[in-house]
Structure 1
Amino acid sequence: MNLYLDTSALVKLYVEERGRTALVEAVSEAEIVATSMVAYVEARAAFARRHRERVLAPADYRRSVRDLDGDWSRYLRFEVSEALVRAAGRLAERYRLRAYDAVHLASALVMRDQLGEVVFACWDSGLNATARRAGLALLSA
């Protein structure tokens, strides 16, 4: 299985949240795990926000950052190229997506075009519905 992680899924790998167990299992079974380059900064921002809001203890915050940094090179990372940005722009207009949601969807569709079947892992119901309409399989969590 080829698995694409949006930021909500990527964060879930490093922060204890509902659905994490199923996601960790899917990642361990996947041949390829991919995300967009923008997911790194989005994940770091999510960790920092949880830390500021005292949802994530200082030690857990440091561990999350350290573990993400350690794993980052293992992911297939989609660059935010001119072609990808233009595709994301079209998807944003067509499906009324937020900017980075459109980047993630465009990246997953490029992955599917390059590698075949892709399972889209996301914990945003609106983006999941759009990914399904765009022809992607969804991770069942």
Structure 2
Amino acid sequence: MIVYLDTSALVKILIEEEGSEDAAVLWSEADRIYSSRLAYLEARAALAASLRTNRSNAPQHNEAKAELERRWRQLSVVEMSSQVAGIAGEVAEDYGLRGYDAVHLASAFASGGGNITLVTWDRDLAHAGLGSGLGVAPAPIP
């Protein structure tokens, strides 16, 4: 299975929360994993927010950052090329997506198109992925 992880999926692997177990299983069962370069900075921001809001303490924060670095080396990074940006603009308009979500959907297309499973906990992105013909995990709530 080839998967594309958006930031919501990546963060669930780093911080224990609802859906973390599912995200870990999808990661471990994947033959190849893709994510946008954007996911790295979004994940770092999410980890910092977790520390600021006391959802994690300093040792947990440092462990999560180290885990992000380790996992990041294992996946294939989709760069923000002019092609990805152009597709992101189109899908933002077509599906009413926010900018970063549009970049994730466009990056998933660049990763393998219809042969890829988009892993996201973002409802709007999941519905856009389904609408554009991608497999989506976990199944979005209607």
TM-score by length of 1: 0.94
Tell me which stretches of 4 or more aligned residues in structure 1 moved more than 4 Å: none
Q: State the partner residue of 1:74.
A: 74
CA RMSD of aligned residues (A): 1.1
CA deviations on 1:27-84 (whole Å, 9 max, x unpaired) are 1111001100000000000000111011111111111111111221210110000111
Q: Distance in 2 between matches of 1:9 and 1:140?
A: 10
Percent identical across equivalent pairs? 38
Q: State the partner residue of 1:12.
A: 12
Partner of 1:13, secondary structure, is helix
Structure 1: 5+ residue runs without aligned partners? none
Structure 2: 5+ residue runs without aligned partners? none
Which segment drifts farther, 18-27 or 2-11? Answer: 18-27
How many residues are paired up?
139
Q: State the partner residue of 2:60.
A: 60
Partner of 2:138, secondary structure, is coil
Q: State the partner residue of 1:127.
A: 125
TM-score by length of 2: 0.93
CA deviations on 1:62-116 (whole Å, 9 max, x unpaired) are 1111111122121011000011111101111111111110000001111123xx5
Q: State the partner residue of 1:111.
A: 111
